[in-house]
Amino acid sequence: MQIRKNRSFLSRLRCALAGVVHGLRTEHSLRMQTLALLLALLALTLLRPAALWWALVMLAGSMVLAAEMFNTAIERLADHLHPDLHPQIRLVKDCAAGGVLISALGALAIAIALLVALLGR
């Protein structure tokens, strides 16, 4: 097995992009979260809030997508290492999914705060 340490930036970038593409191809929830972020960006374009709101929405959206990617990685690794049902593996997967839920709820809270701020203008 070849050790893949100290690779060039472009090589690492290609690997990261391959992971994102794989996630988008195989994970329905990642595609839905990506669509939600694109819709949020469209709404920002139409509503034209202050730059801080753009930053908050982008930060929250990217955190949700990152959580989805980590969840996918954990699920794949757990399934590979222990393909049979096991209570501890289920708990690991549930915790990873809980992380996605928490980040999505945080993003939803930002969306609600934005709407309240815009309606209060």
Mean pLDDT value of segment 47-72: 97
81 falls within a domain: yes
pLDDT score, position 93? 95
CA end-to-end span of the chain, whole Å? 61
80 falls within a domain: yes
Would you say 50 and 99 are in contact if contact means Cβ atoms under 8 Å apart? no
Which helix (H) or strand (E) covers residue 72, if one does? Answer: helix 51-81
Mean pLDDT value of segment 17-45: 96
Domain coverage including residue 92: 9-119
User: Domain with 85 in it: what CATH number?
Assistant: 1.10.287.3610
Domain count, the chain: 1
- Distance from chain centroid for Cα 98: 13
1 falls within a domain: no
Q: Cα(37)–Cα(107) distance, rounded to whole angstroms?
A: 10
pLDDT at position 108 over 70: yes
Mean pLDDT value of segment 5-28: 94
4 falls within a domain: no
38 falls within a domain: yes
Mean pLDDT value of segment 68-96: 94
Q: Which amino acid is at 117?
A: A
71 falls within a domain: yes
Which helix (H) or strand (E) covers residue 76, if one does? Answer: helix 51-81
pLDDT score, position 3? 64
Say what percent of the chain tops pLDDT 70.
Answer: 96
pLDDT score, position 6? 84
pLDDT score, position 24? 97
72 falls within a domain: yes
Say what percent of the chain tops pLDDT 90.
Answer: 87
pLDDT score, position 85? 86
